[in-house]
Amino acid sequence: MRIGVDVGGTKIEVAALDAAGRVALRRRAPTPPDYAGVIATVAALVEGAERDLGARGTVGVGIPGSLSPETGRVRGANSTWLNGGRLDADLAAALGREVRLSNDANCLALSEAADGAAAGLSHVFAVILGTGVGAGVIVHGRLLEGRNRIAGEWGHNPLPWMTEAEFPGPACWCGQRGCIETFLSGPALAADADGPGARDAAGLPARRDEAARAALARHADRLARALAHVINILDPEAIVLGGGLSNMAHLYEALPRLIPRHVFSDAVRTRVLRAAHGDSSGVLGAARLWP
């Protein structure tokens, strides 16, 4: 049995895969806003799943951010209370076994390339568009972790082809300005439509007012630029969108129309696909961190 855990900003989800890769159990709990609480919640979810299924499993965990190859500690998590923790070691101690950790966007990429929207494709760029913005890279069918374990962390590159009105862009929690995340995350889109402090982007596509319409158009155009930049470097067969904003249906019509304006090619055949496993891609990919 393989157990996956997805540590998100608001919820922690666990799923257990049986030997055939089928989901045997799935559960979630709210994410505690402190490090010790996260360790205790993950341990309780895993132990509860094992007790109810009567089997012990491998444990893979997807987190926002990544483990520093230098210090072994979490860095770059927008759930900032995780940063600085030795999460793999602390979870290993709590669960009495080795635990594999990876970035949540890497887990999305693993899951979607294994049996999701990009099943059977060799080169995939899988994007999380949610509270944060990140991506995972599949090359030759395998996850690319990278020399510094940051492959795909394009959310903290500056928005490409920035207009004068956009420059220099909002301050980002990472210390830079104008990061892709500061334009494309759910909170960024909500704030663009409804002003500072607005958080709900999910309701915008259903609205007919000018503020919502214009913010969605700016968001699609910026996402197209950010993805065109990736295509010019990696040229993947497909881009998979996951995270809450990937449910906005207009993106799958707008992006194929907007992306080619910025790609250095006469034809752009890159497919833009919605994550097949939806919200569950992260937790399913985390289980797949073990073979």
Contact residues for Zn ion, defined by CB under 5 A: 156, 172, 174, 176, 179
- Identify which of residues 83 and 122 has a Cβ nearer to Zn ion in the complex: 83
- Identify which of residues 123 and 156 has a Cβ nearer to Zn ion in the complex: 156
**Residue-wise DSSP of the chain:** -EEEEEE-SSEEEEEEE-TTS-EEEEEEEEPPSSHHHHHHHHHHHHHHHHHHHT---EEEEEESSEE-TTTSSEES-SSGGGTT--HHHHHHHHHTS-EEEEEHHHHHHHHHHHHSTTTT-S-EEEEEESSSEEEEEEETTEE---TTS-TT-GGGSBPTT--TTTTT--B-TTS-BSBHHHHHSHHHHHHHHH-TT----TTGGG--SHHHHHHHHHHHHHHHHHHHHHHHHH--SEEEEESGGGG-TTHHHHHHHHGGGGSSSS----EEEE-TTGGGHHHHHHHTT--
- Identify which of residues 155 and 242 has a Cβ nearer to Zn ion in the complex: 155
- Identify which of residues 169 and 256 has a Cβ nearer to Zn ion in the complex: 169
If you search the block for the tokens 């004068």, which residue do you land on?
A: 164
Least separation in angstroms between residue 174's CB and Zn ion is: 3
Least separation in angstroms between residue 176's CB and Zn ion is: 5
Least separation in angstroms between residue 184's CB and Zn ion is: 11
Least separation in angstroms between residue 212's CB and Zn ion is: 25
Least separation in angstroms between residue 152's CB and Zn ion is: 14
- Identify which of residues 4 and 130 has a Cβ nearer to Zn ion in the complex: 130
- Identify which of residues 61 and 151 has a Cβ nearer to Zn ion in the complex: 151
Instruction: Give the count of beta carbons closer than 10 Å to the beta carbon of residue 28.
Output: 16
Least separation in angstroms between residue 75's CB and Zn ion is: 13
